[in-house]
A and B are shown apart, each in its own frame.
Chain A
C-alpha cells in the first residue's frame, strides 16, 4: 500500500516538474549550454567526415553521371538566365512602383550562413544544431531562413553552436498570411512534417495551393518570407475558424545549410 502511494506521489511530482520545465524554457546561461558545448564538436566532426566521404564518392566515382548531369544543368542554366532577366525587369518596375507609392525603403537584414551538424535525437521533436553561436553574434530568438522559406528560430545558444526549433515542431508558432487575400493566422507545427495554419477565420476564402507567407507581426521573422503552400482546407459546419494544413517549402529532410538573420528590425506597435 505504501509503495503504491509512493509511486503515485512520484508520478505526480514528475508531471508537475515536467509541466514547470515546459512552461519556463531554460535560460541561455542554463546547463544545456554546457552539454551542447561538450557534444557538438564531436557531432561536427562526424558530420564533416560523412560529408567528406560523400564528396569523394560524388566527385571521383560518379564522373559519368556528373557529365550527364552537367549537360542537364547547362540547359537548366540557360533557362534560369532567361528567368533571371525577367526578374531583373520585374525588380526594376517594383522599385519604381515603390518609390511612386512612397513606400519605405526595405532594410535588408544581415544574415550569416551556418551548417547543420546534427538533428534532434527524437522523432517526436524537430530541432537541428548549427555550427554558429554566440561568437558569431547569434542570439536566442533570432530567425533562421533559407532561400525557399522559413526554417525556424534559435532557442539555445552556446559559444560556437546553436539549437534551432524548426517550424514543423509542435512548439513552434509563426504569424502568417495567405499571400493572395491576406487572411491571417498562426502557423503551428503539426505531424508528418506539415504545419497547421490555425485561427484563420471561416469567412476567409483559403484554397489549396495558396502561398502562405510570414506577416512579420511576431517580431521574429521578416515580413513576406514564404512558409509553404496550403495543402488542405476543412471548413467545419460550426465554429469561427477553419482547419488549414500547410506543406512547408523547405525540405527539412535535406537541410544542410541555413541562413541566420542577425539584425532583423522589429516592428513597433
Chain B
C-alpha cells in the first residue's frame, strides 16, 4: 500500500511538472520535483520501500526527457546514496537543515546534468547561462523544498491512518 502512495504522488508530480508548470513562466527554471521526493524517501523511508520507486520513476523520467537514457536514474540513485550518507552524521529531525539538504540535492542533480552535457556536447552551454540556471533552481529549492518534504510526510501519515481505519472497518 505504501508503494501505491509513492507511485500516486510521483505520478502527480510528473504530470504537474510536464503539463501544468510549462503554462507558468514563473516556473521556467524550477527544479525537478522528484528530487525532493527522492530526498524524502531517503530521509524517512526504508531502503526496501524506496529503491523500487526510485528505479521505476528514474526509468519513467528518462523516457520522457530528451537527455541520454539513464541520466535521471543516475541522479536519483546518487541523490539517494548521498542523503543516506549525510544522515549518518546529521540529525534529520532538525527542520532547520531541510532547506540545505534539498538545495544540496538539487545542486548535485544539476552538476550531474551539466557534466553529462559537457561530455556529450562540449561547448553548447554557456557558463553564465548554466550558473544562472543552477542558482535559480537552488534558490527555489531552499524556499520551497522543505514545504514539499513536509507535505509528503504529512500526506503519508494521513494515508496510513486512513488505511488503518479502512482495515479496521473491514475486519469488524
Question: What's the interface size class on A, roughly?
Answer: 35 or more
CB distance from A31 to the nearest CB of B (A): 7
Docked-complex contact B69 and A122, CB < 8 angstroms: no
Q: Are A189 and B124 in contact (CB under 8 A)?
A: yes
List B contacts of A22 (CB < 8 A). 68, 116, 119-120
Residue in A closest to B27 when the chains form the complex, CB atoms: A123
**Given A18-B71, A50-B19, A170-B125, do A127 and B63 touch, yes or no (CB 8 Å)?**
no
* B interface with A by C-beta (< 8 Å): 11, 14-15, 17-20, 22-23, 25, 28-30, 32, 59-71, 74, 78, 110, 113-114, 116-117, 119-121, 124-126, 129-130, 133, 137
| Alpha-carbon distance between A163 and B64 when the two chains are bound, in angstroms | 8
Residues of A near B11 (CB, < 8 A) are 39, 42
Which one, B17, B28, B30, B69, contacts A21 given CB within 8 A? B69
Assess whether A165 is interfacial by the CB under 8 Å rule: yes
User: A19 within 8 Å of B by Cβ?
Assistant: yes
Cross-interface CB contact of B124 among A25, A43, A127, A191, cutoff 8 Å: A191
On whether the beta carbons of B120 and A117 are closer than 8 Å, the reply is no
Interface of A with B (CB < 8 Å)? 14-15, 17-19, 21-22, 25-26, 30-36, 38-39, 42-43, 46-47, 50, 117-127, 129, 155-156, 163, 165-166, 169-171, 188-192, 196, 253
Which of B17, B20, B62, B113 is in CB contact (< 8 Å) with A32? B62
Are B32 and A122 in contact, CB atoms less than 8 angstroms apart?
yes
Collect the chain B residues with CB atoms within 8 Å of residue A36's CB: 63-64
Q: Is the interface of B mostly helix, strand, loop or mixed?
A: helix
Taking CB as reference atom, which chain B residue is nearest A36?
Answer: B63
Chain B residues near A31: list those with CB within 8 A.
59, 63
Give Cα A31 to B70, complex, Å: 12
Contacts of B22 in A (CB 8 A): 118-119
> For the complex, what is the distance from the CA of A169 to the CA of B74, rounded to whole Å?
21
Which A residues lie within 8 Å of B29 (CB)?
123
Chain B residues contacting A170 (CB-CB under 8 Å) are 117, 121, 124-125
